[in-house]
Amino acid sequence: MAPLRQTPRYAATALMAQILPIDDASIARAASILRDGGLVAFPTETVYGLGADARSDVAVARIFAVKNRPDFNPLIVHVASKDAAANLVSFDARAERLAARYWPGPLTLVLPRRADCPVSLLATAGLATLAVRVPGRDDARKLLRTAAIPIAAPSANPSGRVSPTTARHVVDGLGDKVDLILDGGACAVGLESTVVDCTTDTPTLLRPGGIAREDLETRLDTPLALAEESGDGPKAPGMLARHYATELPLRLNASAPQAGEVLLGFGAVSEATLNLSARGDLTEAAANLFACLHRLDDPAYAGIAISPIPEEGLGRAINDRLRRAARR
C-alpha cells in the first residue's frame, strides 16, 4: 500500500494556508487559481512573489489588500519569456541587449507599455510604462507558461516586513490570506531583482538588486543614471505626484457635485456618475480607482468631485493617491 502523504510541515502554525511542494500537479492547480483571479505565492530566484492575474483590477487590488500596502506602487509583471514580454512592452536596442544577457534572471526592465497591453492600470499605478521580468527558476517559468497570463507579483510579505525567501516566511507573514503557497525551498538570490528604467535617455537604476550595477554598466558600455535618492533608498517612482494627476481638478471629501462637476462616489451616494464601490468596499474601490479617474477625466466637466473615503486599510492608499492627484 502506498504510504500516506505526510502532514504538511506547516500544519501546526498555519492551519488554513494551503502549501504544496512545487511540482507539475501543484503548478497546474496554481495556474488555474491564478486564471480565476486568485492569489498564489510562488518561489522565484530572488524572493517569493505574491502573484495575481496582472490583467485584473480586482485580483491586483487583492494583492494590495493582503499586503496591507500603504500605497499603490507599480508592480512588476512576470512572464515566461522575452517573447511574452514583447506582447506587453516595446523593446529598444538597450533593452534587447540586457534581456538577451540577463533573462531569465533577476533583472526587471521598465519599458513603454504597448498600446494593446492588457495589464491593469492599478498594477502600473496609471503609468505609461511597465516593469517586466522573466524569473530565473525553471519551475516559476513553468507556472507562468501554464497560466499563460502576465502575473503581477510583489514580494509575498506584509508591507514593511522583510521579504520572504522561504515558503515558511510566506506562511508566517500572510498565512491563510493567500489561496495557495507553492513551496520551492529557499530562494537562491534572496534579494529582489535589479530594476532598470530603459525609458530614460541614459538607462536609470531604480532599485539595486540581484544583478550588480557594474555588470550592467559593462554590458551597456555606459554608466547608469541613478534614481533620486531619498532618506531610505531610491525614491519609488510611484510616489511622484504627477504620475497620478488628472487633467481636471479634483475636489476631495465632497458630499455632492457643484455646478459643472462630475461626482465619483463611494458608498451609497445618489448623484454619482461612477461609484468606486456602491457597497463601500475598499478593495473594490481600489480596483476601480485608476479606471474611474481615467473615465471621468473628460473636458466636458469642470472638475471631479470625490466622495469621502475612510482613512483605514486600503482607504489610506486610495486617499494618498487622491491627495497626490489633487495637488496642483
Kindly list the residues in this chain that would bind ligand TXA in the complex (CB under 6 A): 44, 46-47, 49, 73-76, 108, 110, 124, 127, 129-131, 153-155, 192-193, 195, 197, 206-207, 236-238
Nearer to ligand TXA, 131 or 318 (CB): 131
Nearer to ligand TXA, 221 or 232 (CB): 232
Nearer to ligand TXA, 76 or 292 (CB): 76
Nearer to ligand TXA, 129 or 275 (CB): 129
Q: What does 207 bind: ligand TXA, Mg ion, none (CB cut-off 5 to 8 Å by kind)?
A: ligand TXA
Residue whose Cβ sits closest to Mg ion: 155
The least distance separating ligand TXA from the CB of residue 216, rounded to whole angstroms, comes to 15
Nearer to ligand TXA, 184 or 303 (CB): 184
The least distance separating ligand TXA from the CB of residue 274, rounded to whole angstroms, comes to 25
Buried b (16+ CB within 10 A) or exposed e, 21-45: ebeeebbebbbebbeeebbbbbbbb
Name the site residues for Mg ion (rule: CB under 5 A): 155
The least distance separating ligand TXA from the CB of residue 308, rounded to whole angstroms, comes to 28
Residue whose Cβ sits closest to ligand TXA: 49
